Structures are given as C-alpha cells and as structure tokens.
Amino acid sequence: MILELGFEASLLTSVAAWVLIGFTTGYGAHLVPTRLLDHDTWLTRPRAFEDGGRFYERRLAIRVWKDRLPEKGDLFPGGFSKRTITDRSEGFLGRFAAETRRAEIVHWLNAVSGPVFLIWCSWPLGVVMICFGWGGHLPFICIQRYNRARITRTLARRHRAAAPSSPPPAPAPSPVLVDLPDAATPTA
C-alpha cells in the first residue's frame, strides 16, 4: 500500500475506481473504429478447448445465465447493443462479431486492472478487489466468446451451403461488415 487510507476510505476509493475504470475502458474501446475489430487477434482468437462455443454450453451452462447479466454496448451514443440479434444478414452478423471483440477487450482491460487497487488498499482488501475484478468480468468475457463462436459457426455453415460441391471448399472469407457509422464518427 502506497497511500495510507483507512478501510472505509479505501473501500469508497475502490468503488469510485471501479466505476472510473469501467467507463474509461468502455469509452476508449467505443472510439476504436469497427473496421479494426473485424478480425480476431491473439487475445480474441478462438481456442481449441472452446470447441466452437460448445465448451461454454457444456461446462458453464451459459445459456441458463447469460441473458440475466446486463449488456451495455449501446451505453455511449452510436453504440451497438448485443442483447439480441435483430438481423440475420452476413453484414449484421459480422458487425455483431466485431462488437463482441470490442466488449471482450473492455472486460479483459477491466479484469487485469485489479493490481492498481494495491496502491491504496491493504493487502487483504487489495486481494478482494483483484478477485472482484476477475470474478466480475470473466462471465462477460465468456459471453462474448460464446456469442462470437456461435456467429462464426453460423457464417461458416452458410458459406459451406453456398459453395459448389465438386471442389473442396475454400476457407470462409471474413464477413463483410454492415456499413453502420463508427462510434468515433460523428453523425450529422
């Protein structure tokens, strides 16, 4: 602990810090152009254990609880709600997948920010804050990865069905994003 605060002051500072971290990372990611999120990175790429999202269904029963958690993708003007799929077009699903990457990155940033709390929290309270960060954000990371895996499976199935049966199918192209204004682009 670098700053000597009492327990109550540390707790109040921690609550304010979690709110500030959440809004800051959320708004920062909101400003990232969607075109930069149209593909997976080392962080967001699917892992073998996920089995196309089936791991989350089998091991975590994600379908039972995922819709009970809040979804704030449209918190900032021009944002994108991921509560429901309102369009089944390839462009919309591509945009939806990109927005799951945006949300996943926000939750990873929030989860790893826990050690900052050791600046003003005693060791036991700091550990609680670190655990709170991981426990509070891992479910949201799982939801984003699960939803993106399902979208990817759907798009791959469509591409296989549309491909001619004689030659072996080529890898599915990246989905074309629907032409919606980026959050960072002001609209008139």
Question: Is residue 143 within 8 Å of residue 61, measured between CB atoms?
Answer: no
DSSP H helical segments within the chain, as ranges? 7-30, 54-60, 62-65, 90-111, 123-162
**Residue-level pLDDT at 188:** 47
pLDDT in single tens digits along all 188 residues of the chain? 788 899 999 999 999 999 999 999 999 999 999 999 999 999 999 999 999 999 999 999 999 999 999 999 999 999 999 999 999 999 999 999 999 999 999 999 999 999 999 999 999 999 999 999 999 999 999 999 999 999 999 999 998 888 776 565 566 565 656 555 555 554 44
Lookup: tokens for 125? 């309270």
**In angstroms, rounded to a whole number, what is the distance separating the alpha carbons of residues 23 and 72?**
11
**Residue-level pLDDT at 16:** 97
**Residue-level pLDDT at 164:** 74
CA atoms within 13 A on the CB side of 26: 17
**Residue-level pLDDT at 128:** 96
**In angstroms, rounded to a whole number, what is the distance separating the alpha carbons of residues 144 and 107?**
10
